[in-house]
Amino acid sequence: MVVTLDTANRNLGAAVRLDQLKPGDAGVVVEVTTTDLRARRLIELGLAPGRRIRFVQRAPLLDPILVQVGEGVYSLRRDDAAYLMVLPDSPVHD
C-alpha cells in the first residue's frame, strides 16, 4: 500500500525516510509505503501524508525513536519509521 500526498508543487527528491532525521528536525509526511495493516496503524496514529512531524529523540541503542505529531508524542520502531517519507523543513546532511 502506498499513500501519497498530492505533491505537484513540491520537490520530492528532497524527501527522506523518517528514521534518517535527527532530533529537532521537522517536516511534512509525504508518503507512507508499507503493507496495508502497518500503513493503517501508522495513519491511525496521525502519521499520514500532509501532517507535520518533528523528530524528538532517539533511544540510546537507536531504537525506538520519539516523534511528535500535533500534540501527541509517539514511540516508533526504526523499521516502522523507515516506511514514512518526510519532506524536511531544511536539507538533511549526513
- Domains, the chain, ordered by start: 2-88 (2.30.30.90)
Q: Which of 49, 44, 45 is nearest to 3 (CA)?
A: 49
Q: What would the grid cell of residue 77 be?
A: 520502531
Rounded to two decimals, the pTM is 0.80
E strands in 15-71: 16-17, 26-33, 52-58, 65-69
The values of phi and psi at residue 19, to 5°, are -70, -10
Q: What is the mean pLDDT of the chain?
A: 85
DSSP output for 59-79: -TTS-SEEEEETTEEEEE-HH
User: What average pLDDT score do residues 45-70 get?
Assistant: 93
